Structure 1
Amino acid sequence: MEISQKFIEAIEAGDLQTVQSLIETLQLSSEPEAQYEIANMLIQAGYLKEGEQVLEYLQFLFPEEAQLKIDRAQVLMEIDEEDEALLLLTSIEEHTDEYPQALLSLADYYQMQGLYEAAEQKINQALILLPDESVLIFAKAELLLEMGKYLEAIRLYENLKEHTEEIAGVRLSERLAEVYSAGAAYEHAIPYYEESLTHQVTPDLLFGLAYAAFQAKEYDLSVRKLNEVKTLDPDYFSAHLLLSQAYSMLDDHEQAYEAILEGLTRDEYDKELYLFAGKMALKMGITTDAEQHLRQAIVLDPEYMEATLSLVSFLHAAERDQDVIELVEMISSNQDDWSALYPFAAEAYAKEENFERAYAFYSLAYTDHKEDTIFMEKFVYFLLEEGKRDEALEIGKQLLYLEPNEERWQDLIESLS
C-alpha cells in the first residue's frame, strides 16, 4: 500500500500515533515531492503541527527554498508561532520570485493583528512589483473593506469584476453587494445581490437582498425575498423580525403581527421578537397581548431598556399609575439609573398624591430632561402646587429660555418675581 493511502486511512481514523509513525517513515524513504504533497494533505485535514513538522524537515533539506519558507510560515501563524513565522518571511530576499507572496503573507499576519497600516504597506510593496496581479488587488480590496474604506474597496472590486467573476473562491458580485450594504449604499447593493442569486440561491443572499431592499424602502421586494428565505430555511430567525417590520411599513399590521408570532414559535427566547410583537399588538389594540409580550421581553432581559420604556409608556397612557410606580421602583431598587422612566414615575406619584416621592422623581429627572419643554412644564406646575415658588421661578426661567416667544412663561416669571 502506498504511503499516501496509509496517511489517508490514519487521518480518517483519527489515529495520531500512526500518523506520527508514518511521518518518520516518510522522511526516511520518500522523495521530497511526495513529502511536500503529504504535508499539504495533513494541513488540509487539520493536522497542522504534523504538516509543519514535514515542512520543517523539507526546509532542513532545502534551506534556501523560498516557497517552503512561505508555506511553513503560514502554518506557524495558524498554530500561534508568529515569531518564527515572521523570521522565515523576512528572510526571503527581494530578488526572488516568491518575494511578493512573502509580502502578502506578512500583510495577512498584520491584518489579523489589526495592524492595518502595516498590512496595507506590505500589499502596496507587492503591487509595485506586480501591479496587475489580481490576487494582490483582491487582497488590498479585502483589507480596505475590513478597514471600512468602502469607496476605495468598491473601486478595486469593480475593476477586478471587469476581468473575472470570481477570485480566491469569492464571487465578486456577492462581495460588491456586501460592501455597498456595509457602506449604506443599499440601492447600489440590490442589483449585485440579484446578480449573485442568478448563480446560486442561499438564505444568506436572499436575506441580504431583503435587508438592502428594506433599507432602500422597497418593502414589497423585501417581503417577497423574506418569504423565500422562510421557504428555504424556516429557522432563519432574522427573517421573521425583518418580515414583520416590512409588513408594518406597508401598513399591513395583521400580516406583521402574524409574521412576528410565527417567529416566536421558532425562537421563544428572542427578546427583540417579543418587543416588536408588543408594539404591533398595541397598534392593533390588542392591549392584553401587548403587555404580555413586553413583560416577556423584560423577563428575558431585565436590562432591556427599550422594552421597559415601551411598557411604562403603555401603563402611563392607560393611567395605571400603581403599575408604573411598581415597575420604576423595582428598577430603581436595582440601582439602574434609567432617567427616561423618572418623568413617568413623578407623574404617577403626583396622581397618587404621594408628593414627596413625586418631587424626588421630578428632581432626579431634571438633569436629563431640562431641555424637554413638556417635562419642564409639568415640573413647574407641580412645584407651584407644592408651594415651591423659588424653584418654580428657576424652572420658569429655563422654560422662557427654551421658548422665548411663549408669553405665559414671561407672565409666570413676573408673577413669581
Structure 2
Amino acid sequence: MGQLQEVETYLLDGDLDALQRAIDKLEASTDFDALYDVAGLLSEYGFIQEADRLYGILRVHLPDEAQLKIDRAGTLLELGEEDEALLLLSDVKPDDEEYVQALLALADFYQMTGMAEAAIGKIKEAHSLVPHEPIIRFAYAELLLDAGKYAEAARFYLDLLQETDEMGGVSIASRLAEAYSAGAAYEEAIPYYEELLESQATPDILFGAAFAYYQTRQAERAIRLLTELIEMDPDYFSAYMLIGQSHALAENDQKAYEWFLEGIKRDPFDKELRLAAGKSALKLGLPDEAEQQLEEALALDPEYIEPIITLASLYNEREKDEELLSLLADPNGEIGDIPILHAFLAYAYQRLEQFEEAYAFYGKAYDGMREDFGFLERYANFLLEEGRRKEALAIVRELVELDPANENWRAFLEAQTDEEV
C-alpha cells in the first residue's frame, strides 16, 4: 500500500494516532511527490494544520516552486495567517506558469474580505492574460455581479451563454436573470426567468420572475406566479407582500388588503406588511383597521418613519389630537426635521387652543412647506386670527404667487391699505 492510500485509510477509519505517525514519518521523507499528494489529501479532509506543515517542509526544499506558494497560501488563509499568505501569492511572478492561478486566489481573498475593487483588479489582469478561458470569464462576471456592476456582469454572462448553459453547476440563465433584475432591467430579465421556469420552477425563481413582472406592470402574470409559489411554500414570507402589491397594481384593493393580512398571519412581526395593510385599509375606507395596523408597525419599530407620518396624517384627519401629540412626543421637544409632522402638531395645538405651541410649530413647518398651498392657507388664517397681521400678509403674498387665479386671496390682498401691504 502506497503512502497516499495508507494516509487515506487512516483518515477514513478515523485512526488519528496512526495518521499522526504516518505524517511524522513523511516529514523526514525526501519523496516530494508523496509529500505533496498527502498534503493535498489532508487539506481536502480538513486537516489544515497538518497539511500546512507538509507544505512548509516542501517549501524549504523547493522555495521557488510557484504551485507550492499558491497551495501553502491556501492553507495559511484557512489558518488565519493572511499576511503571510498574501506575501506568498504576491511572490508568484508574471512569467510563472501558475501566475493566473495566483491572481485568481488573490481575487478570491479580496472578495471574501470585502475589497471588491481589488478583487476585480486581479481578475481583470487574469482575463487580460487568458481572455478566452471560460472559467476566468465566469469568475469575472461573478465578481462584477457581487460588486453591483450589473450591466458589465450581464455582458460576460451573455458571452458565456453562447458556449455553455452552466458553469460549475450554476445556470448562466439564472445569473442573467439576476443581473438584469438587480440592475432594474426587468424587461431583459423576463425571457431568462421564463426559460428557467420551464425547467426549474423553484420558489426563488418564481419570486424573481414575479417581481420582474410586477416591475413591468404585468400584475396578472405576477399574481399567477406568486399564487403558485405560495401553494408550493406557504412560508415564503416575501411573497405575501408582493402578491398584495400586485393586486393593488391591478386596482383590486380588497384582494391586496386580504393578502397583506394573510402575510401578517404568517409573520406577525413584519413591520412592512403592517404598514402595507394600514395603507390598504385607508384606501378601502377602514380607518379603525388602518390605525390598528399602523400602531402595530410602530410597536415593532418605534422609529419607523413612514408609519409615523401615515398614522399622524390619519390622526390629524380624524382630529384625534391627544393621540397625535402622544405619537409625536419627544423628551427633548424635537421630532426631527420633518416639516409635515411639525404641521400636524401645529394643527393639533390650534384645535386644542394651545396657540403659542401652534404658532411655534407653524414656524417650524414653514420652510419645508412653502410650496404647499393648503398649509399656507391654514397658516395665514391662523396668523390673522392671532392678530399677527403683518406676518399673515407675507404668507398671503406667497399664496397669490402660488395661485394667481385664486380670487379670494387676491381680493384680500388688494383690500389692504398701502401701508399694510
TM-score normalised by the chain length of structure 2: 0.87
- The residue that corresponds to 1:8 in the other structure is 12
- The residue that corresponds to 2:282 in the other structure is 282
Q: Name which of structure 1's ranges 252-261 and 21-30 shifts more when overlaid on structure 2.
A: 21-30
Find the aligned partners of 1:231 and 1:9 in 2 and give their Cα distance. Answer: 46
What CA RMSD, in Å, does the superposition of the two structures yield over aligned residues?
Answer: 2.8
Q: What SS is found at the alignment partner of 1:164?
A: coil
- Judged with a 3 Å threshold, the aligned counterparts in structure 2 of structure 1 residues 20 and 345 are, in CA distance, closer, same or farther, namely farther
- The residue that corresponds to 1:240 in the other structure is 240
- Judged with a 3 Å threshold, the aligned counterparts in structure 2 of structure 1 residues 244 and 400 are, in CA distance, closer, same or farther, namely same
Q: Is the 1:245–1:256 Cα contact (8 Å) retained in structure 2?
A: yes
- The residue that corresponds to 1:154 in the other structure is 154
- The residue that corresponds to 2:335 in the other structure is 336
Q: Name which of structure 1's ranges 50-59 and 166-175 shifts more when overlaid on structure 2.
A: 50-59
Q: Is the 1:166–1:172 Cα contact (8 Å) retained in structure 2?
A: yes
- Judged with a 3 Å threshold, the aligned counterparts in structure 2 of structure 1 residues 352 and 153 are, in CA distance, closer, same or farther, namely same
- The residue that corresponds to 1:82 in the other structure is 82
- The residue that corresponds to 2:358 in the other structure is 358
Q: Is the 1:187–1:216 Cα contact (8 Å) retained in structure 2?
A: yes
Q: Is the 1:10–1:18 Cα contact (8 Å) retained in structure 2?
A: no
Instruction: For residue 336 of structure 1, report the CA deviation from its aligned partner.
Output: 3.1
- The residue that corresponds to 2:262 in the other structure is 262
Q: Using the aligned pairs only, state the percent identity.
A: 46
Find the aligned partners of 1:357 and 1:122 in 2 and give their Cα distance. Answer: 62
Find the aligned partners of 2:157 and 2:43 in 1 and give their Cα distance. Answer: 30
Q: Is the 1:157–1:176 Cα contact (8 Å) retained in structure 2?
A: yes
Q: What SS is found at the alignment partner of 1:303?
A: coil
Q: Name which of structure 1's ranges 397-406 and 366-375 shifts more when overlaid on structure 2.
A: 397-406
Instruction: For residue 279 of structure 1, report the CA deviation from its aligned partner.
Output: 1.8
Find the aligned partners of 2:276 and 2:92 in 1 and give their Cα distance. Answer: 58
Q: Name which of structure 1's ranges 261-270 and 156-165 shifts more when overlaid on structure 2.
A: 261-270
Listed one character per residue, the Cα deviations across residues 209-233 of structure 1 (whole Å, up to 9, x for unaligned) are 1111111111112112222222232
- The residue that corresponds to 1:207 in the other structure is 207
Alignment-mate amino acid for residue 289 of structure 2: D
Structure-to-structure mapping, 1:213-252, within 5 angstroms = 213-252=213-252
Q: Name which of structure 1's ranges 190-199 and 157-166 shifts more when overlaid on structure 2.
A: 190-199
Q: Is the 1:7–1:22 Cα contact (8 Å) retained in structure 2?
A: no
- Judged with a 3 Å threshold, the aligned counterparts in structure 2 of structure 1 residues 226 and 358 are, in CA distance, closer, same or farther, namely same
Q: What SS is found at the alignment partner of 2:263?
A: helix
Find the aligned partners of 2:289 and 2:30 in 1 and give their Cα distance. Answer: 73
Find the aligned partners of 2:185 and 2:235 in 1 and give their Cα distance. Answer: 28
Unaligned runs of 5+ in 1: none
TM-score normalised by the chain length of structure 1: 0.88
Q: What SS is found at the alignment partner of 2:96?
A: coil
- The residue that corresponds to 2:52 in the other structure is 52
Listed one character per residue, the Cα deviations across residues 18-41 of structure 1 (whole Å, up to 9, x for unaligned) are 876664455457965565455445
Instruction: For residue 340 of structure 1, report the CA deviation from its aligned partner.
Output: 2.5
Instruction: For residue 323 of structure 1, report the CA deviation from its aligned partner.
Output: 2.4
Instruction: For residue 355 of structure 1, report the CA deviation from its aligned partner.
Output: 1.6
Unaligned runs of 5+ in 2: none
Alignment of 1:73 with 2:73, yes or no, is yes
- The residue that corresponds to 1:165 in the other structure is 165
Q: Is the 1:278–1:289 Cα contact (8 Å) retained in structure 2?
A: yes
